[in-house]
Amino acid sequence: MKGKSANDLLDDGMDMFRFRRDGAPIVAGTKKQNVLYKCMNPSSSVRKAKRVYSKSPHQSMDAPGLLADYYYNILDWSSKHLLAVAILDKVYAFDATTSVTTLFKDFNNNAITITSVKFSKDGAYLAIGLDNGFIHLFKTDTQQQVRKFGTGNWRICSAAWTSGGLLSFGNRGGLIQTHDTRQRLSFLSETQHHEAEC
């Protein structure tokens, strides 16, 4: 079987590389589609409504003794409309649906300072990190302590949850630990970083 050369293709009357000045052939009905598309698309002159922000607070709360430290994470919202606020050695829970504030946990120790609070994604648990290197895990509905983890003598600066129940927390010394809170032997990994404040 013999293949065709480029000259044979041109002799057959086929022109593969023909330039058309008028463009592609117009398909019937495309003009109507363009009109419909332009009608459905809003004009660029139509402005979107601007969001209105209140100039006065909806609600203000008094929190005497609230520590103003850049490395402390002492406020956190839950998916169940709870606000956890850590003040020295106490954690308060504000319920946004009922506007009621309750004492969630009092460690009764002036030598301890709460340095981080973090709700789980579903709002069922609250992790409370302390400056002595421990993090306590509480159920939010019963306020009962479930677990306790430790990283050493450095303060717990931050904590983060995954939707699967994994809790990662870092301390001032640059150590990050990850625990699976659903398992009895919960420790999964540990990472040491060169810089402080994870």
User: In the 8-state DSSP scheme, what is residue 6?
Assistant: H
Give the domain ranges of the chain.
75-192
The tokens of 37 are what? 């598309």
Query: Please, which contacts does 64-71 make with residues 24 or more away whose CB atoms are closer than 8 Å?
Result: 67/113, 69/115, 71/115, 71/155, 71/157, 71/172, 71/197
The CATH superfamily holding the domain 75-192 is: YVTN repeat-like/Quinoprotein amine dehydrogenase (2.130.10.10)
Instruction: Specify the pLDDT at position 164.
Output: 84
Instruction: Specify the pLDDT at position 181.
Output: 82
Within 13 Å of residue 183, how many CA atoms lie on the same side as its CB? 10
Instruction: Specify the pLDDT at position 83.
Output: 93
- Kindly give, in sequence order, each residue whose CB lies less than 8 Å from that of residue 128, ignoring residues fewer than 6 positions away: 86, 91, 105, 114, 116, 117, 135, 136, 137, 138
Q: What is the pLDDT along the chain (198 residues), one digit of tens a residue?
A: 555 555 555 555 555 555 556 666 666 655 555 555 555 555 556 667 777 777 777 777 777 777 878 878 899 999 998 999 999 889 999 998 888 999 999 998 878 889 999 999 999 999 999 988 889 999 999 999 998 888 777 888 888 898 888 888 888 878 888 888 887 887 776 777 766 655
11 in helix, strand or coil? helix
Cα separation, 146 vs 126, whole angstroms: 10
- Please check whether residue 125 is in contact with residue 181, taking contact to mean a CB–CB distance below 8 angstroms: yes
Instruction: Specify the pLDDT at position 136.
Output: 93
Instruction: Specify the pLDDT at position 102.
Output: 93
